[in-house]
Structure 1
Amino acid sequence: MGTRARGKIGESNTSFNDLPEEMAAFIFTKLPVKYLIRSTSVSKTWYSLIINPNFISSQITHSLSSCDQNAVLIIPTHLSHRNYCTLVSAETGYVFDKYEIPFTTKSGTLKFVDSVNGLVCVNDLRSSNTLYLWNPCLRKYKCIESTCFSADLFLDSGKRSSVIGLGFHERTNDYRVIRIVSCVDNKNVLVSKVVPKVEVFSLRMNEWREIQNPIGPRLSLFKFRKTVNSIMYGLSSSHPEKYSDEVGILSFDFNNEVFGQLKLPDDVRYCLGEIACFNLMKFEGSLCVCVFNKCVGGDINTHPFCIWLMRNEDGIISWTKRFNVVLDQFGFPCQLTKSGALIMISLTNSPVRSVISCNLKNLQCKYLGFDNSLDFKIKLPATVDTSFIESLVMHAGGDILLETP
């Protein structure tokens, strides 16, 4: 076997391009996204490797395993107040990065829906008709204004209530958005005689399609949604402001497009009494239910939080109390970081709301330094994301959306 020619004595003419493709791809997965984008301009070989769907999947896998366990993406509600998102450490408050928001909504407000593999879904806080799929690291976004439904949907029966969710279809490597449109009366109570409409948007196909005769969301409204392992979960009730005995969890599997439903056990629902509130989160790769109350025993300075972890083993669902803490600060619990910090939006009598991180191990709370001056009529369950990672989703060079075979 011949040897490679050499230049000066002791010098080799070998280069990075001489590495086996598998080795080159492995090295590239370690690079931050901004350097990967620059690398696509170096050569056609590097460009082809980096935009390959298999490489993008490998980069996502590496990013999921190596991302900072305390990272929190803070999304502004009013674009006039702040037109960028901030990636910050829940432990130290250190700002990792800032991502300018490259679009604006009609009302100038944003509502965070969810994120999957670095792809963020947001919509106008005052309207769910216009959606944005956005990769902050790439500064690329797609505005979705279309729908399968007619403009006069439910016009004669009542007003519309829309639910949006983001998920991943594993078999086709496709990111999808679900929209469930229900009919509610003037008191925001579900009109049960009117069957909700369901449509799914495919990023890969760039189109909506309606799911005919959906079984599942007929008698309930989704609230406080979270996608875990390609399944969107949502607290359900026939009335958006009341739970009591009605509270349960609806689900939508993006892989088979089937709805499911399960009831919360009594020890989960009533662990803090009958007037407790709920929110859905993700922790340790599983769905969590956070049960919280403002006060116990008349002591307004104590704020208990119970976090239950759901396990699904061969179709058998079980619940384990993962955290049971009492904090001296109260806020609306938004999400858990991968390290177990509870991220909350402070609820005070001031028009300024702050993002707070609470370490559930030592019960220390940290003010992250991000204030939002907000209208009290605007609810704040979704202004932070603890699942965000750097990825190449939506990148295929130029402005072309990634298409996989």
Structure 2
Amino acid sequence: MAEQMVDSSYYLPTELVIDIFLRLPVKTLIRCTSVCKSWYAIIRNANFVASHFNSNDNYRQEYHDDGYLLFGGSNFCHVVCDRTFKLMHAIETPFAVRPHRKSSLNFVGSCNGLLCLAPGLEYNWGNDVYIWNPSIRIRKKLPPSQFSDEFTDDRWIVSRLGFGFHELSNDYKVIRLIYFPEGRNFTSVDVPPLVEVYSLRTDSWRIIRTEVPPVVTQSVVTFDKGVFYWMGFKSIRDDPMENYIMSFDLEDEKFREIEQPSVDFPFSLLAVRGSSGSLYAVYSKFFGGQNDILVLWKMDEYNRGWTKAYTIQCVRGVWWTIGFTRSRKFLYTNLEKKLVSFDLESHRSEVHDLGISFSRSAVDVNYMESLLLFDHRCDAARKQKEAQS
């Protein structure tokens, strides 16, 4: 029996073992880490984790689907096929939160199978921030803000967060904007926000000292191809508030204002969405839910202007826009809180009753399984073991 427990790497060349592992789904690989030390070392290696993420397509092939969606509720996330809209499975979140809106699982963003979450009081700047991989149930708590020790009074502070991946540095980043509003309605600010950026590679926050446009940003941020996009407005006293689009580029770490398309009243800017490197501005025209219209404007590839791309006659109104899927559908929820898909090729809409509840922002249209963060868990376990010895 003891002879049967000999390390399997004696029988297979390491290159062949790696080639086999690259074809396996995430859950199988996690089980393989318990077989022997050499397999554990291979799978937890950062280079293997990256290679597996880039090459492994087994999970989607198993379900014959281009991709899948993730809908986050109070205590569960639900994975759904983006072609069939079939519910695949539910994942319990690592945070127990109450179901009412002000104390919830605030969904910051998602990228490559990682989710950034800030559980607690909605938009509280002091919330703990986590990066979580639902597929392997691993979470990482981010260190405190660089500004934590500076604010000890009772002044009301509002935080805006964003999460994305910077390809050039091969690093995951979280941006935080800290506002000091004049009142709790958050319609104007006296001073520009403070800005800091977190790096997963260095596990630290860094203060960004750059000019920020005087835009009061909304909480939902879009990230696409290295750039964050917020919808917001400029507060002009005694004048109507005008919508703006603000961006932050991870490459040069500069904020910019983006000119809106020429849209006639009563259309209003509802959301900003990204899809495969293209930026879309979503405008709405409300008629009480019966004949609501969405118009999607697309920015050209050189950021020189907008083109009207799609007009959507909403099915039973619109409650919230979600984004674009890999199977070329635009998703939104109607006033009945049901998911509606608009096919960008056939221009047909379809209502999907998934039977689940989800937060307006807690949706990842390009969710995928990955081993990302697995090597971080191994490092944390090793450090804890060393500290105890």
Q: 1:56 aligns to what SS in structure 2?
A: helix
| Kept after mapping to 2: 8 A contact 1:112/1:382 | yes
2:187 corresponds to which residue?
189
| Kept after mapping to 1: 8 A contact 2:273/2:281 | yes
CA gap of 1:39–1:318, structure 2 versus 1, over 3 A, is farther
CA gap of 1:154–1:305, structure 2 versus 1, over 3 A, is farther
1:305 corresponds to which residue?
294
Q: Does 1:253 pair with 2:241?
A: no
| Kept after mapping to 1: 8 A contact 2:289/2:316 | no
Q: Does 1:368 pair with 2:348?
A: no
CA displacement 1:102-128 (0-9 Å, x = unmatched): 223587511211101111011135234
Distance 2:234 2:157 in 1: 14
Q: How many residues align?
A: 360
1:8 corresponds to which residue?
none
Distance 2:218 2:259 in 1: 14
Q: 1:224 aligns to what SS in structure 2?
A: strand
**Which runs of 5 or more residues in structure 2 are unaligned?**
1-7, 383-389
Q: Does 1:386 pair with 2:345?
A: no
| Matching residue's letter, 2:170 | N
Shift of 1:140: 0.5
Distance 1:320 1:62 in 2: 35
CA gap of 1:363–1:154, structure 2 versus 1, over 3 A, is farther
CA gap of 1:66–1:249, structure 2 versus 1, over 3 A, is farther
CA displacement 1:282-322 (0-9 Å, x = unmatched): 22342222222223xxx852222222233434xx4343333
Q: Does 1:320 pair with 2:316?
A: no
CA displacement 1:196-253 (0-9 Å, x = unmatched): 10111222222222223x212444425531111121111131249xx98833321112
Distance 2:56 2:228 in 1: 22
**Which runs of 5 or more residues in structure 1 are unaligned?**
1-13, 374-379
Worse overlay, 339-348 or 179-188: 339-348
| Kept after mapping to 1: 8 A contact 2:290/2:316 | yes
CA displacement 1:44-89 (0-9 Å, x = unmatched): 333333223222222222358984435210000xx3xxx2101112
Which residue, 29, 34, 41 being the options, matches 2:34?
Answer: 41
Matches for 1:199-218 after TM superposition, within 5 Å: 199-212=196-209, 214-218=210-214
Which residue, 272, 276, 279 being the options, matches 1:287?
Answer: 279
| Kept after mapping to 1: 8 A contact 2:24/2:56 | no
Distance 2:335 2:147 in 1: 38
Distance 2:281 2:40 in 1: 43
Shift of 1:356: 3.6
Matches for 1:5-404 after TM superposition, within 5 Å: 18-19=12-13, 21=15, 24-63=17-56, 67=60, 68-69=65-66, 71-76=68-73, 79=74, 83-105=75-97, 109-124=104-119, 126=122, 127-128=124-125, 129-144=127-142, 146-150=144-148, 153=151, 159-186=156-183, 187-191=185-189, 193-212=190-209, 214-239=210-235, 246-266=242-262, 269-270=263-264, 273-295=265-287, 301-313=290-302, 316-331=303-318, 332-348=320-336, 353-360=337-344, 361-372=346-357, 381-396=360-375, 398-400=377-379
Distance 2:181 2:229 in 1: 21
| Kept after mapping to 2: 8 A contact 1:216/1:250 | no
| Kept after mapping to 1: 8 A contact 2:110/2:364 | yes
Distance 1:183 1:356 in 2: 37
CA gap of 1:301–1:222, structure 2 versus 1, over 3 A, is closer
Q: 1:387 aligns to what SS in structure 2?
A: strand
1:9 corresponds to which residue?
none
CA displacement 1:348-367 (0-9 Å, x = unmatched): 5xxxx344434453523222
Distance 2:252 2:313 in 1: 40
| Kept after mapping to 2: 8 A contact 1:223/1:236 | no
| Matching residue's letter, 1:330 | G
Percent identical: 28
CA gap of 1:65–1:317, structure 2 versus 1, over 3 A, is farther
Shift of 1:135: 0.2
| Kept after mapping to 2: 8 A contact 1:170/1:255 | no
Distance 1:311 1:19 in 2: 50
Distance 2:370 2:349 in 1: 32
Shift of 1:347: 2.2
2:385 corresponds to which residue?
none
Instruction: Provide the aligned C-alpha RMSD in A.
Output: 3.3
| Matching residue's letter, 1:393 | L
Distance 1:178 1:64 in 2: 30
CA gap of 1:93–1:167, structure 2 versus 1, over 3 A, is closer
CA gap of 1:96–1:238, structure 2 versus 1, over 3 A, is same
